[in-house]
């Protein structure tokens, strides 16, 4: 097994590594799937690993993949609202170039010709990148983010830009200049955020994979609530240069897809040192597809008890069943896993300094909940405590101390297993009513004000959707969410696995072993042209609460 370290920097993804990565993935590709070109609906429902195999076997072209996805986006995006910008013309042009290389027998790697989509806070040269804000509705970058450049070089096709919670500042995904993204399992519900469109697009088979960013849970929360797989890697393993910051000290970029092997394949191509990214760290190249298949029988699991407090009953039931499966696959739960408890947030000035400059240039041109946050920052109420430079430095020191200490917590266990979220996804209407209520609350109440039905869903508040995920951004350690069940009404439930810094291989291996022992990843939401889109009612009235139940998922295989 290749071990990642902070020393011995080497450039990622050499030719031999790419070949080894792909050959390792091939045995899991259905030969029957390669035999004939499937119809467009079946084609879009295939996994990234499967279509990668078909590209390399020359049984399908990149152009066919792009066209199938564009047709599905045209049909379903008006219902899901997950894409802000569809880059159809550009994607077809990329596909033509990659098809010519395919015909000549030249492959750039396992992502050759595979359409993926990007959260719309990741810069794309010549295509607007909005952060889902009126502030940036016309913003067109002149350079690609480093991760976009890297993926294009690896042969990935950029299909479009995906909706998000404005400036990635929330865990629901419902606050966007372009309107809320909708959960494919029930269009009345939020996707989770902030990588809202990424979760919805992958779940509804409008992309084979997507990039998300994660500051408090923004990859893992939508992965859990949309029933897909999402990985937040070790801090600095994937470049964040060219990504609009949320809170830079806590920001991560990671892959989202429908299976663990797809995420492993994407991460292998994404990881690598960026000398111009001040948060990037040197790392040794790793084949995560190969590491994913390592034995897990000797793994010792920890279940930190505080992460199981106040968990909703249906989530508790699903996680208990998942732990039974994991116990049978490993050395079992060997510790209550007390983790380093001196948990900081982001430094007070980390987000504010970026937005202070924006406000000076554009004014407070945000959506209402975001605007309220920054109004209070720019014009604090009399008597309110204002963070100082000393507070900022103190918080930064605490964050760095936490990251140095956390690995020592993994003494009597190798990995921890917790619910990704403690609560189920709320309806869009209830969430918007709650957001509005919070934005109108007195500054002294802040985010602690109770929302609709006595619940608070945003990650700035206790009990929010990102309560379990946020600590792992402070720790800076790898954490993955994968599906582990459904509620009685048909909504997905997520399981989170995490390990010390640079143990992505172990995290992926346990997730893969669990996936192989279960069938949850094979379910897809039921959506077609006749699917009814419920109205958005922000009042939180009784009318807003009358929503249809999710339809049973369909099997992907």
Question: Bridge-partner residues for 189, per DSSP?
Answer: 427
Told to judge if 218 belongs to the known catalytic residues of this protein, a careful annotator would answer yes
Please tell me which residue in 52, 67, 117, 119 is annotated as part of the active site: 119
**pLDDT tens figures, 70-89:** 999 999 999 999 999 999 99
pLDDT of residue 441: 62
**pLDDT tens figures, 295-342:** 999 999 999 999 999 999 999 999 999 999 999 999 999 988 888 766
Question: What does the domain layout of the chain look like in residue ranges?
Answer: 15-344+392-527
Told to judge if 119 belongs to the known catalytic residues of this protein, a careful annotator would answer yes
Beta strands 209-214 and 115-119 are: parallel
CA distance 97 to 116: 16
**pLDDT tens figures, 194-234:** 999 999 999 999 999 999 999 999 999 999 999 999 999 99
Rounded to two decimals, the pTM is: 0.90
Give 555 or 168, the one with higher predicted confidence.
Answer: 168
Which pair of structure tokens corresponds to residue 459? Answer: 């990650």
CA distance 257 to 260: 8
pLDDT at 277 over 50: yes
Give 160 or 387, the one with higher predicted confidence.
Answer: 160
pLDDT level of residue 142 (50, 70, 90 thresholds) = very high
pLDDT of residue 395: 86
Mean pLDDT (whole number) for 254-262: 98
Told to judge if 194 belongs to the known catalytic residues of this protein, a careful annotator would answer yes
CA distance 117 to 230: 14
**pLDDT tens figures, 526-555:** 999 999 999 998 654 434 333 444 554 555
Classify the phi-psi angles of 423: left when phi > 0, otherwise alpha if psi is within -120 to 50, otherwise beta. Answer: beta
**Cα–Cα–Cα angle for 354, 211, 494, nearest 5°?**
105
Report the CATH fold assignment for 15-344+392-527: Amidase signature (AS) enzymes (3.90.1300)
**pLDDT tens figures, 380-413:** 888 878 878 888 888 889 999 999 999 999 999 9
Mean pLDDT (whole number) for 288-301: 98
* 107 neighbors 183 (Cβ within 8 angstroms): no
Q: Map tokens 């920054």 to a residue.
A: 374
Radius of gyration of the chain (CA): 22
CA distance 114 to 266: 11
pLDDT of residue 37: 59
HEC per residue, 230-244: EEECCCCCCCCCCEC
Please tell me which residue in 176, 218, 247, 409 is annotated as part of the active site: 218
Please tell me which residue in 133, 176, 181, 194 is annotated as part of the active site: 194
- For the chain, what is the largest distance between any 2 Cα atoms, rounded to a whole number of angstroms? 71
Give 345 or 281, the one with higher predicted confidence.
Answer: 281
Q: Percentage of the chain with pLDDT > 90? A: 73
With CA atoms as reference, report the closest residue to 241 among 161, 123, 400, 116: 123
pLDDT at 179 over 60: yes
């Amino acid at each position: 097994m290749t071990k990642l370290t902070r020393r011995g920097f080497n450039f990622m993804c050499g030719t031999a590594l790419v070949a080894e990565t792909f050959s390792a993935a091939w045995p899991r590709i259905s030969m029957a799937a390669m035999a004939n070109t499937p119809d467009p609906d079946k084609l879009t429902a295939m996994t990234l690993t499967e279509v990668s195999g078909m590209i390399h076997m020359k049984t399908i072209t990149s152009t066919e993949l792009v066209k199938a996805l564009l047709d599905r986006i045209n049909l379903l995006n008006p219902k899901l609202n997950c894409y802000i910008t569809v880059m159809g013309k550009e994607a077809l042009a990329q596909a033509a170039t990659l098809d010519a290389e395919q015909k000549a027998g030249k492959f750039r790697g396992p992502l050759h010709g595979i359409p993926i989509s990007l959260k719309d806070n990741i810069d794309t040269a010549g295509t607007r990148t909005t952060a889902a804000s009126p502030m940036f509705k016309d913003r067109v970058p002149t350079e690609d983010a480093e991760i976009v450049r890297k993926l294009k070089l690896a042969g990935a096709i950029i299909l479009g830009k995906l909706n998000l919670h404005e400036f990635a500042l929330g865990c629901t995904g419902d606050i966007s200049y372009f309107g809320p993204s909708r959960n494919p399992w029930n269009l009345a519900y939020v996707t989770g955020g902030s990588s809202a469109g990424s979760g919805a697009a992958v779940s509804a088979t409008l992309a084979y994979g997507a990039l998300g960013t994660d500051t408090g849970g923004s990859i893992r929360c939508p992965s859990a609530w949309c029933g897909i797989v999402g990985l937040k890697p070790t801090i600095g393993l994937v470049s964040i240069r060219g990504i609009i910051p949320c809170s830079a000290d806590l920001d991560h970029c990671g892959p989202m897809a429908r299976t663990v092997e797809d995420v492993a394949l994407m991460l292998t191509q994404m990881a690598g040192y960026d000398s111009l990214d001040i948060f990037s760290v040197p790392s040794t190249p790793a084949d995560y597809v190969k590491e994913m298949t390592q034995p897990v029988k000797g793994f010792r699991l920890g279940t930190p008890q505080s992460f199981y407090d106040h968990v909703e009953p249906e989530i508790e039931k699903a996680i208990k069943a998942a732990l039974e499966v994991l116990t049978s696959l490993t050395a079992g739960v060997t510790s209550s896993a007390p983790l380093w408890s001196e948990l900081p947030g982001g430094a007070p000035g980390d987000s504010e300094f970026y937005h202070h400059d924006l406000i000076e240039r554009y004014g407070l041109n945000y959506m209402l909940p975001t605007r309220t946050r920054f109004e209070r920052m720019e014009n604090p109420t009399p008597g309110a405590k204002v963070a100082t430079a000393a507070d900022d430095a103190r918080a930064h020191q605490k964050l760095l101390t936490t990251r140095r200490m956390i690995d020592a917590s993994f003494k009597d266990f190798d990995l921890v297993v917790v619910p990704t979220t403690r609560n189920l996804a709320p309806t869009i209407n209830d969430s918007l009513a709650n957001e509005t209520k919070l934005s109108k609350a007195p500054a002294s109440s802040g985010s602690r004000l109770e929302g609709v039905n006595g619940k608070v869903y945003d990650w700035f508040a206790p009990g929010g959707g990102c309560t379990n995920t946020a600590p792992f951004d402070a720790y800076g350690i790898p954490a993955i969410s994968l599906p582990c069940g459904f509620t009685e009404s048909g909504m997905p439930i997520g399981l989170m696995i995490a390990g010390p810094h640079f143990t992505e291989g172990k995290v992926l291996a346990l997730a893969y072993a669990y996936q192989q022992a279960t069938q949850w990843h094979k379910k897809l939401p039921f959506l077609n042209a006749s699917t009814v889109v419920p109205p958005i009612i922000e009042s939180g009235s009784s009318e807003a609460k009358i929503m249809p139940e999710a339809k049973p998922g369909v099997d992907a295989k």
